[in-house]
């Protein structure tokens, strides 16, 4: 897909992979609707518009989509389901509210956003949905059982969805990064890039690569790992 003039929605746009993806899409000529609870500081571009949206609330998602179409036009070509969070800890001490918060954001929110865009994408017979999962969706890790469960769900949803939507000309890609230097789990990126972690821009570049693949080619899954290890 040539991204020039296309409309893309990016969830969880305030920081990390979401912000980097919005910036990469803008650099490739797209108009970007950034959805999130907080606006990204300093992201000022004539083709970027922020819409406040908590993806856990299906009514908020529907409203954000209506506002996006009103401001950027009816066509929507790209959805990047990036909003997500991880809460770690052993299951026997895990809070039910934390479990529900992760599933409401990582799984239910992704469903609400996907459902919102599909009628328009089907009408266009064109669209590309990017779901940000994790390598935690490929192998379990101690004290990450809840987070892994959500990302396994994202991967399974993505696999079924691409098969469902192929006849409609809509592509689906599940992106599964390993260690990325972000504020994930409350961590602060250091003053210098960590050579053993990928940067948000690296994931954004991979997303653009998948989007710009020839129309006859669908990259259904991407696993991304740091080249250098500790």
pLDDT in tens, 174-229: 999 999 987 665 555 556 678 889 999 999 999 999 999 998 999 999 999 999 88
Strands in 78-81's sheet, in edge-to-edge order, are 48-52, 31-36, 7-11, 78-81, 127-132, 170-177, 221-224
CA-based end-to-end distance of the chain? 37
Helix (H) or strand (E) holding 177, with range, is strand 170-177
| Domain positions in the chain | 7-224
Superfamily grouping for domain 7-224: NAD(P)-binding Rossmann-like Domain (3.40.50.720)
For the purposes of burial, counting CB atoms within 10 Å of the CB of 10, is it exposed (0-12), middle (13-18) or buried (19 or more)?
Answer: buried
Cα(230)–Cα(222) distance, integer angstroms: 22
pTM (two decimals) = 0.94
Per-residue pLDDT band for 144 (boundaries 50, 70, 90) equals very high
Q: What pLDDT score was predicted for residue 40?
A: 96
Average pLDDT, the chain: 95
Kindly name the residue from 51, 147, 157, 162 that is annotated as catalytic.
Answer: 147
The answer to whether 147 is a known catalytic residue is yes
- Of residues 136, 159, 148, 133, the one with CA closest to residue 99: 148
What mean pLDDT is predicted for residues 93-102?
Answer: 98
What mean pLDDT is predicted for residues 53-80?
Answer: 98
CA angle, 162 then 117 then 54, to 5°: 110
Q: Which residue has better confidence, 3 or 196?
A: 3
Instruction: Compute CA distances 155 → 141, 180, 190, whole Å.
Output: 16, 18, 30
């Amino acid at each position: 897909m040539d991204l020039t003039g296309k409309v893309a929605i990016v969830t969880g746009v305030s920081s990390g992979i979401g912000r980097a993806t919005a910036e990469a899409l803008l650099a490739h000529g797209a108009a970007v609707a950034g959805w999130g609870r907080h606006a990204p500081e300093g992201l000022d571009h004539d083709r970027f518009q922020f819409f406040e949206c908590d993806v856990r609330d299906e009514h908020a998602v529907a409203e954000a989509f209506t506002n996006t179409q009103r401001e950027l036009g009816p066509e929507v070509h790209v959805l990047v389901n990036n909003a997500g969070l991880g809460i770690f800890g052993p299951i026997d001490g895990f809070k039910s509210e934390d479990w529900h918060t992760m599933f409401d954001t990582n799984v239910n929110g992704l469903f609400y956003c996907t459902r919102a865009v599909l009628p328009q994408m089907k009408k266009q017979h064109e669209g590309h949905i990017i779901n940000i999962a994790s390598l935690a969706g490929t192998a379990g890790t101690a004290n990450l059982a809840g987070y892994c469960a959500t990302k396994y769900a994202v991967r399974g949803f993505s696999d079924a969805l691409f098969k469902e939507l192929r006849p409609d000309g809509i592509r689906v890609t599940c992106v599964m990064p390993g260690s990325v230097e972000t504020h994930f789990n409350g961590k602060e990126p250091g003053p210098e890039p960590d050579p053993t972690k990928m940067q948000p821009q690296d994931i954004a570049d991979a997303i653009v690569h998948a989007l710009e693949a020839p129309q006859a080619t669908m990259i259904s899954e991407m696993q991304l790992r740091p080249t250098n290890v500790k």
